[in-house]
């Protein structure tokens, strides 16, 4: 109880200064970096490995600078075919947000309008790029992100629109402590951008940008200022205010500060806290901009690959890490085979002295030039008749190396849980049922990637359902997008008390008007083929049935 009292006293303090917010942001960022630095080193190595930097630097250097001559360091790309398979499965079975009403004030038709708004926002944002970038990052290194922003419709408009934005570099995002794989339970988050000094001065002419301005923070100086670039962070965080809620006899709940009715109507009361979301843009030494964020969530969504918890710390990985050792073995064995071929001497001709006198120049070049025939002297220097010169067999490459190469390939597939059948490679004498079973096993082994992306898109849908009424807060006609890709319009009136009303117009038609702020709506994500794909498949099926008939 003492702690609660301290918290309440702290919350009743006046608004914090910029310096207090900045100090809090620096402390929280340091916590994020310290907490994830070890894991992010592994993730960066995973990313480099998937982009074909697969040899450890010291081993590669030793082989390339060998005093006896450079040795091969081959990189055989065996991993990206599996990454592409998982990512393209996501593309073919794109998750879609479905909105449904929860309470009595919500309306089914309004839920459909919400769905149309979300589709329209996704369409205008080209959200598929944002989703797939985050999904592919989760497949490669174990986590990815997409985010939401609000911006003016155009340079001359005061209307704001919501956009879903791609985060191409997952290392530019830090979320505060969280348990959920989507990051929805975090209390704060950062998104970073390295801005060239000239651009920074143009955008923020009154801001500090000299290197000496950062000298007062030695622990963070290199992080915020390097190579004529200044790191700018968007910082989202929550602030809380204490509230006394009253439960009235008519079943409604009101804030005690706004209630002016009789005491007898109050059935119960309790202390709670309201939460507002704040946004600011800052460097390590000052705040550049700040304002309230309209929604109640941190608008950064995390997509997780595979995770585990060890000693209270999250360990995250994707498709690459389990297969790295097998892939390194494959590269090493392939390099060894090539090296043996390169070092094997050219197979010479063995013959008696004097047999190579005729056409001697042709015999000297026989290992370089493909002659149609070679002539030899059948009598040696002693006058004896001898057989024709014979080419010696080249040194054999051990069969064990080829067998081990195949074993390494199988180890890769076992590490990933993906087998040849899932990549379209059929084995001889293998039944269709067996191929289907292997394909299903491979799909099951990587299903957590697409499922986690669905969970993240579902959370993104909740953010949009919360944010849309607060951005579309005036009477207006908006565009919504149907499942079939056709645009429609909807009339919004945030002042009407119902979620949907029907009015008869002068021509006798019925006009529906919606208030997105009334009622509670929930969001789910469904995974399946796109509307166009289903339409094409249905058309093909009907054509086939007609032909057979």
Average pLDDT in the chain:
84
The more confident residue out of 116 and 69 is 116
pLDDT at 543 over 60: yes
pLDDT in tens, 308-326: 999 889 999 999 999 999 9
Task: List all residues 6 or more positions away from 391 whose beta carbon is below 8 Å from its beta carbon.
Answer: 347, 348, 349, 350
What's residue 392's pLDDT?
67
- Per cent of the chain over pLDDT 70 is 84
Comparing CA positions, the residue from 423, 436, 452 lying closest to residue 306 is: 452
pLDDT in tens, 254-288: 888 888 888 888 889 899 888 999 999 999 889 99
What's residue 544's pLDDT?
57
Lowest mean pLDDT among 24-28, 239-243, 429-433: 429-433
Residue 461, Cβ density class (10 Å: 0-12 exposed, 13-18 middle, ≥19 buried): buried
pLDDT in tens, 446-460: 888 999 999 999 999
Give the Å distances, CA to CA, from 28 to 23, 186, 237, 413.
Answer: 9, 12, 10, 41
What's residue 510's pLDDT?
84
Interior/surface letters 274-301, b for 16+ CB within 10 angstroms, e for the rest: eeebbbbbbbbbebbeeeebbbebbbbb
Gap between the Cα atoms of 104 and 520, Å rounded: 8
Q: Is the dihedral of CA 51, 56, 59, 65 positive or negative?
A: positive
What's residue 1's pLDDT?
32
Gap between the Cα atoms of 542 and 548, Å rounded: 10
Assign 22 a pLDDT band (cuts: 50, 70, 90).
very high
Helices (H), 16-71: 18-50, 57-64
Assign 36 a pLDDT band (cuts: 50, 70, 90).
very high
What's residue 69's pLDDT?
83
Q: Quick one: how far is CA 351 from the chain centroid?
A: 66
Residue 465, Cβ density class (10 Å: 0-12 exposed, 13-18 middle, ≥19 buried): buried
What's residue 482's pLDDT?
87
pLDDT at 385 over 70: yes
Comparing CA positions, the residue from 163, 165, 166 lying closest to residue 124 is: 163
Does residue 174 sit in helix, strand or coil?
strand
Assign 10 a pLDDT band (cuts: 50, 70, 90).
very low
What's residue 540's pLDDT?
56
- Per cent of the chain over pLDDT 90 is 48
The more confident residue out of 16 and 427 is 16
Residue 418, number of CB atoms within 10 A of its CB: 24
- Give the position of tokens 């389990």: 322
């Amino acid at each position: 109880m003492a702690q609660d009292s301290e918290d309440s006293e702290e919350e009743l303090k006046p608004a914090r200064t910029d310096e207090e917010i900045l100090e809090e942001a620096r402390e929280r960022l340091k916590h994020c970096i310290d907490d994830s630095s070890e894991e992010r080193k592994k993730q960066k190595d995973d990313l480099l490995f998937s982009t074909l930097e697969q040899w450890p630097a010291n081993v590669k250097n030793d082989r390339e600078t060998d005093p006896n001559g450079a040795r091969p360091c081959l990189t055989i790309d065996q991993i990206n075919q599996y990454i592409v398979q998982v990512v393209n499965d996501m593309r073919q079975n794109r998750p879609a947000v479905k909105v449904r009403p929860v309470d009595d004030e919500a309306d089914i038709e309004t839920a459909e309008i919400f769905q149309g708004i979300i589709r329209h926002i996704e369409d205008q944002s080209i959200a598929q790029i944002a989703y797939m970038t985050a999904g592919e990052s989760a497949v490669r290194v174990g986590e990815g992100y997409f985010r939401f922003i609000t911006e003016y419709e155009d340079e001359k408009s005061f209307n704001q629109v919501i956009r879903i934005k791609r985060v191409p570099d997952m290392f530019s995002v830090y979320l505060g402590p969280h348990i959920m794989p989507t990051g929805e339970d975090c209390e704060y988050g950062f998104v970073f951008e390295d801005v060239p000094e000239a651009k920074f001065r143009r955008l923020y002419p009154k801001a500090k940008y000299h290197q000496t301005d950062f000298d007062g923070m030695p622990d963070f100086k290199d992080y915020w200022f390097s190579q004529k670039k200044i790191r700018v962070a968007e910082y989202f965080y929550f602030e809380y205010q204490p509230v006394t809620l009253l439960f009235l006899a008519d079943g409604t709940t009101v804030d005690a500060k706004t209630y002016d009715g009789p005491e007898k109507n109050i059935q119960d009361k309790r202390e709670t806290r309201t939460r507002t979301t704040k946004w600011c843009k800052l460097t390590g030494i000052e705040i550049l901009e700040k304002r309230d964020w309209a929604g109640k969530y941190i608008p950064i969504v995390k997509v997780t690959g595979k995770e585990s918890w060890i000693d209270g710390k999250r360990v995250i990985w994707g498709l690459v890490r389990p297969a790295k050792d097998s892939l390194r073995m494959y590269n090493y064995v392939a390099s060894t085979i090539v090296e043996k071929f390169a070092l094997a001497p050219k197979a010479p001709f063995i013959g008696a002295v004097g047999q190579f006198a005729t056409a001697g120049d042709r015999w000297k070049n026989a290992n370089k030039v493909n002659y149609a025939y070679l002539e030899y002297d059948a009598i040696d220097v002693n006058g004896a008749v001898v057989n024709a010169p014979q080419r010696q067999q080249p040194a054999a490459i051990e069969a064990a190396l080829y067998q081990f190469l195949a074993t390494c390939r199988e180890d890769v597939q076992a590490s990933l849980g993906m087998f040849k059948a899932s990549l379209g490679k059929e084995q001889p004498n293998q039944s269709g049922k067996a191929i289907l079973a292997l394909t299903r096993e491979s799909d099951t082994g990587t299903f957590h990637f697409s499922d986690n992306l669905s969970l993240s898109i579902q959370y993104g849908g909740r953010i949009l359902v919360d944010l849309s009424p607060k951005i579309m807060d005036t009477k207006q006609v908006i565009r919504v997008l149907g499942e079939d890709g056709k645009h429609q319009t909807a009339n919004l009136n945030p002042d009407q008390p119902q979620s949907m009303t029907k009015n008869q117009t002068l021509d006798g038609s019925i006009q529906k008007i919606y208030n997105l702020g009334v009622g509670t709506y929930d969001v789910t994500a469904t995974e399946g083929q796109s509307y166009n794909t289903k339409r094409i498949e249905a058309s093909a099926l009907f054509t086939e049935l007609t032909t057979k008939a």
